[in-house]
């Protein structure tokens, strides 16, 4: 299945955008910097929410109101990370295609986004406390595991 | 011994060479250094933003800071140990990198900022702990910290890119 995607990766890389990023040294480098800054804030938010769901921090404030305050920043960071990640990918799509770490990263990214906007969102907007502490903690752990998985696989792209 | 000779000396040690040439240890240390950012900087930003008065304004500053501190310190510990190892393995190349020196200077400034905050305005924290907007000096400490960490991450990334 992955083999059949190659022509599309090649096409993406040869778009004007792909060429443009490859030829401008600073677009690529600055995208990498913003990608890392966005990731730091995104993982930091996930950690803070997880620590709150575990009852380690900000215990005098409800999970929902902590989430309400930190989510806009988290979503902004997610947007920036996805945008710069797409730019980086566009400039070297075929290299990514042949990179095993990239495939794992995409798998983790898909699962992270899915989990973020289903389970984590449900648990952090749970005004009626319908979920048991056990479910809340498991959700926090899975979210942290998935997002850190994206970061670890992403870092590993450079090593393959 | 000049600074350059000192860096050269580190670079030539057996431990530096071993780390530089290791097949698995170097990538693991580098990966851990990057991921530890989420724990260190990813957590300190919440305290900084509370000091500036941007978020969690209904929470006392101390209740934001104290419970987060152990996790944040663990993160910074990991960042410094792995960062130190990376520097040790690439000392000579670091010496020639302007981004390395920018990073070192900003790290030193971050240290000074933390020390000044804790030795001055933080001593009177009970007086403004509940304030949605802390006094200007505390706000400045938070803002300076945020700016420096963005600068440190940027310099670190550029340094690795051009090394």
pTM of the model: 0.94
Distant-in-sequence, close-in-space partners of B99: CB < 8 Å, separation ≥ 6: B155, B156, B158, B159, B162
Whether residue B38 and residue A151 make contact (CB cut-off 8 A), yes or no, is: yes
Mean pLDDT for the stretch of residues A88-96: 95
- ipTM exceeds 0.90, yes or no: yes
Tell whether the model's pLDDT for residue B145 goes beyond 80.
Answer: yes
Cα A85 from Cα A34, distance rounded (Å): 9
Long-range contacts of A131-139 (CB under 8 A, 24+ apart): A133/A55, A136/A53, A136/A63, A137/A53, A137/A54, A139/A53
- Residue B1: which pLDDT band, with cuts at 50, 70 and 90? confident
Which residue of A29, A31, A32, A33 is the best one to mutate when testing the B interface, meaning the one whose CB has the most B CBs within 10 A?
A33
What pLDDT sits at residue A20?
A: 93
Q: Do B31 and A59 touch (CB under 8 A)?
A: no
* A150: closest CA of chain B, how far (Å): 10
CA pseudo-torsion sign A30, B144, B79, A141: negative
- Tens of pLDDT, residues B16-29: 999 999 999 999 99
pLDDT digits (tens, 9 = 90+) for B88-139: 999 999 999 999 999 999 999 999 999 999 999 999 999 999 999 999 999 9
Residues 6+ apart with CB under 8 A from A142: A115, A119
Query: Which residues in chain A are contacts of B71 at CB distance < 8 A?
Result: 47, 51, 56
Q: How far apart are CA A24 and CA A6, in angstroms?
A: 25
In a mutational test of the A interface, the residue from B38, B39, B47, B99 whose CB has the highest number of chain A CBs within 10 Å is B38
Task: Report the domain count for chain B.
Answer: 1
Given CB atoms, is B150 within the 8 Å cutoff of chain A? yes
Structural domain boundaries, residue A123: 3-157
B147 touches chain A (CB under 8 A): no
Closest residue of chain A to B75, computed from CA coordinates: A44
Domain tally for chain A?
1
pLDDT of residue A3: 87
CA distance B26 to A159: 10
Domain range holding B57?
Answer: 3-162
Distance from CA of B9 to the nearest CA of A (A): 28
pLDDT at B16: 96
Give the pLDDT of residue A25: 80
Look at A151 and B42 and tell me if their CB atoms are within 8 Å. no
Summarize the confidence of residues A51-76 as an average pLDDT: 95
pLDDT, average across residues B34-49: 96
Report the pLDDT value the prediction gives residue A126, as an integer from 0 to 100: 84
Flag if A44 and B68 touch (Cβ within 8 Å).
Answer: no
């Amino acid at each position: 299945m992955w083999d059949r995607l190659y022509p599309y990766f090649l096409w993406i890389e040869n778009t004007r955008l792909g060429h443009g990023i490859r030829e401008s040294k600073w677009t690529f480098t600055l995208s990498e910097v913003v990608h890392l800054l966005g990731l730091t804030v995104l993982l930091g938010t996930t950690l803070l929410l997880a620590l709150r769901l575990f009852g380690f921090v900000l215990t005098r404030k409800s999970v929902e109101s902590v989430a309400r305050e930190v989510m806009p920043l988290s979503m902004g960071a997610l947007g920036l990370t996805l945008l710069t990640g797409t730019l980086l990918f566009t400039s070297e799509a075929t290299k990514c295609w042949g990179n095993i770490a990239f495939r794992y990263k995409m798998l983790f990214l898909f699962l992270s986004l899915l989990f973020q906007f289903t389970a984590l969102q449900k648990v952090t907007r749970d005004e009626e406390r319908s979920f048991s502490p056990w479910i809340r903690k498991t959700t926090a752990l899975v979210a942290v595991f998935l997002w850190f998985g994206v970061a670890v696989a992403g870092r590993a792209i450079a090593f393959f | 011994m000049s600074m350059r000779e000192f860096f050269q000396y580190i670079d030539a040690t057996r431990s530096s060479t071993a780390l530089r040439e290791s097949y698995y240890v170097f990538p693991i240390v580098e990966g851990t250094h990057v991921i530890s950012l989420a724990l260190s900087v990813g957590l300190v930003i919440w305290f900084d933003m509370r000091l500036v008065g941007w978020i969690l304004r209904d929470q006392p500053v101390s209740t934001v800071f104290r419970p987060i501190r152990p996790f944040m310190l663990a993160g910074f510990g990991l960042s410094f140990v792995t960062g130190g190892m990376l520097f040790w393995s690439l000392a000579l190349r670091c010496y020639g990198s302007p981004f390395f020196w920018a990073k070192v200077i900003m790290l030193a400034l971050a240290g000074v900022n933390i020390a000044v905050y804790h030795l001055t305005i933080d001593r009177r924290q009970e007086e403004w702990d509940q304030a949605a907007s802390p006094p200007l000096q505390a706000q400045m400490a938070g803002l300076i910290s945020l700016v420096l960490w963005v600068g440190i991450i940027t310099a670190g990334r550029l340094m690795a890119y051009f090394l």
